[in-house]
């Protein structure tokens, strides 16, 4: 009798210790779903979805507050990936948040820049180098193409220049397989 | 002491932007960062004594001490004269936006 209780107690202690160790060792920081959604979003931080950045939008999607078709820079491809991840139906980009455009970076026309710093304050990713009454220049490698600097410029000297497709910028397209009705395929 | 800080030095031209990541000892100044970056050799047009420098969009002096994760920026002068641009735009009848807000009709 005593030995049976001891065996059960020992078993409980061992299993408890194992579970306790596992919960510390394999602790998950934050919400892994938010991370996965955030990884799909284009990180333009443009705010076109109505949230202040890609991460807040990812959190809203994970909570079910936001729909998956509110990200114009991500485009149809981004929506397809999100639909895949979340097991939802694909739906086209909602028009109220904007339209998908080719990926661009901002470019300052140096003939007109007056060094007002308004574009620098607008840039969500600190991609603009410049200070008061100094030339403002956009670091193309860091520009996400969010267009937030275009509107504030008082002399309209910022233009969006589409990036030409090159070996560095080319990406795999999301594969789309057309399913043909059985009758038409020959 | 003995700890190092990580900073970036950037010199941006319209068509090409140079960005160098550096590890420097704590207490380094802007001048030391620019010299360590090697940008002076790569872009001989920089005259450090004359050029304006700053950290993250704020003008600063060459002897300013850096903090971890600072971005040292070497600026170039404006081409346009702000007053002239404003005058020109006024003459063309374009409305100048004030404070970054949308132009008023």
User: How far is it, in rounded angstroms, from Cα B84 to Cα B81?
Assistant: 5
**Chain A residues in contact with B100 (beta carbon < 8 A):** 118, 121-122, 151-152, 154
Could you identify the residue written with the tokens 């600063």? B60
SS3 state of residue B67: coil
Q: Give the pLDDT of residue B104.
A: 41
Tell me what the pLDDT averaged over chain A comes to.
88
Question: Which residue carries 């939802």 as its tokens?
Answer: A88
Among chain A residues, the shortest Cα distance to B81 is held by: A114
Is the pTM higher than 0.80? no
Q: Among A109, A111, A128, A131, which would you mutate to test the B interface (most chain B Cβ atoms within 10 Å of its Cβ)? A: A131
Nearest residue on chain A to B51, alpha-carbon basis = A134
> Taking residues A79-108, what's their average pLDDT?
89
pLDDT at residue A185 above 60? Answer: no
ipTM: 0.81
| CATH code of A150's domain | 3.30.70.20
Mean pLDDT of B23-35: 92
In chain A, the number of structural domains is: 2
A159 to chain B, any CB pair closer than 8 A? The answer is: no
Q: Which domain holds residue B81?
A: 4-99
Identity of the residue in A113, A118, A139 whose CB atom sits nearest the CB atom of B100:
A118
Query: Within 10 Å of residue A152's Cβ, how many Cβ atoms?
Result: 20
Indicate which of B11, B13, B15, B17 best probes the interface with A, i.e. most A CBs within 10 Å of its own CB: B17
Q: Note down the domain range covering A153.
A: 102-164
Name every residue whose Cβ is closer than 8 Å to that of residue A132 and which is 6 or more positions away in sequence.
Answer: A115, A116, A117, B59
A-chain residue closest to B18, CA distance: A139
Q: Which residues pair with A158 in a beta bridge?
A: A108
Identify the pLDDT of residue A97: 87
The answer to the question of residue A7 being in a domain is no
Are residues A93 and A107 both part of a single domain? no
Rounded CA-CA distance B55/B63 in Å is: 12
Q: Total domain count for chain B?
A: 1
Query: Which residues in chain B are closer than 8 Å to A130, comparing Cβ atoms?
Result: 12, 57, 73, 75
Same-domain status, A84 and A117: no
| Contact flag B10-A129 (C-beta cutoff 8 Å) | yes
Please give the residue of chain B at the shortest CA–CA distance from A131: B57
Q: Which two tokens stand for residue A18?
A: 């194992």
Measured CA to CA, the distance from residue B70 to residue B24 in angstroms comes to 11
Q: What is the CATH number of the domain that holds B19?
A: 3.10.20.30
Each residue's pLDDT tens digit, A121-154: 999 999 999 999 999 999 998 999 999 999 999 8
Measured CA to CA, the distance from residue B67 to residue B56 in angstroms comes to: 12
CA distance B98 to B105: 12
A150 interfaces chain B, CB cutoff of 8 Å = no
Q: Domain boundary residue among A97, A119, A141?
A: A97
Structure tokens at A74: 């991500």
A48 and A83 belong to one structural domain: yes
> Do A91 and A109 share a structural domain?
no
Inside any domain, residue B27: yes
A4 pLDDT more than 90: yes
- Does the CB of A112 have a partner CB in chain B at under 8 Å? yes
Q: Which residues in B lie closer than 8 A to residue A158 (C-beta atoms)?
A: none
Taking an 8 Å cut-off on Cβ atoms, the answer to whether A126 and B96 are in contact is no
**Residues of chain B contacting residue A112, judged by C-beta atoms under 8 Å apart:** 80, 85
pLDDT surpassing 70 at residue A100: yes
Sign of CA dihedral B93, A132, A152, A76: positive
Q: Higher-confidence residue: B32 or A174?
A: B32
d(CA A56, CA A45) in angstroms, rounded, equals: 10
Query: Hey, what are B95's tokens?
Result: 């409305």
């Amino acid at each position: 009798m005593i030995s049976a209780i001891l065996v059960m107690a020992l078993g409980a202690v061992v299993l408890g210790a194992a579970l306790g160790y596992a919960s510390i060792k394999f602790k998950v920081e934050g919400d892994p779903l938010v991370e996965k959604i955030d990884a799909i979003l284009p990180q333009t931080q443009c705010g076109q979805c109505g949230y202040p950045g890609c991460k807040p939008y990812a959190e809203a999607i994970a909570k079910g507050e936001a729909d998956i078709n509110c990200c114009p820079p991500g485009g149809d491809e981004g929506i397809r990936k999100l639909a895949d991840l979340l097991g939802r139906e694909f739906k086209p980009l909602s028009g109220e948040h904007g339209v998908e455009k080719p990926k661009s970076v901002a470019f300052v026309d140096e003939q007109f820049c007056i060094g007002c710093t308004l574009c620098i304050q607008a840039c969500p990713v600190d991609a603009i180098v410049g200070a008061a009454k100094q030339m403002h220049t956009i670091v193309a490698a860091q520009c996400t193409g969010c267009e937030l600097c275009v509107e504030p410029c008082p002399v309209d000297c910022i233009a969006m220049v589409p990036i030409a497709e090159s070996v560095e910028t080319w990406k795999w397209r999301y594969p789309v397989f057309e399913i043909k009705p059985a009758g038409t395929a020959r | 002491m003995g700890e190092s800080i990580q900073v970036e030095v950037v010199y941006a031209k319209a068509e090409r932007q140079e960005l160098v990541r550096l590890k420097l000892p704590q207490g380094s100044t802007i001048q030391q960062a620019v010299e360590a970056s090697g940008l002076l050799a790569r872009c001989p047009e920089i005259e450090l004594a004359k050029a304006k420098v700053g950290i993250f969009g704020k003008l600063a002096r060459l002897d300013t001490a850096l903090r971890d994760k600072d971005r040292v920026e070497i600026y170039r002068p404006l081409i346009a004269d702000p007053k002239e641009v404003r005058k020109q735009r006024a003459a063309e009848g374009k409305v100048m936006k004030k404070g970054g807000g949308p132009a008023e009709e």
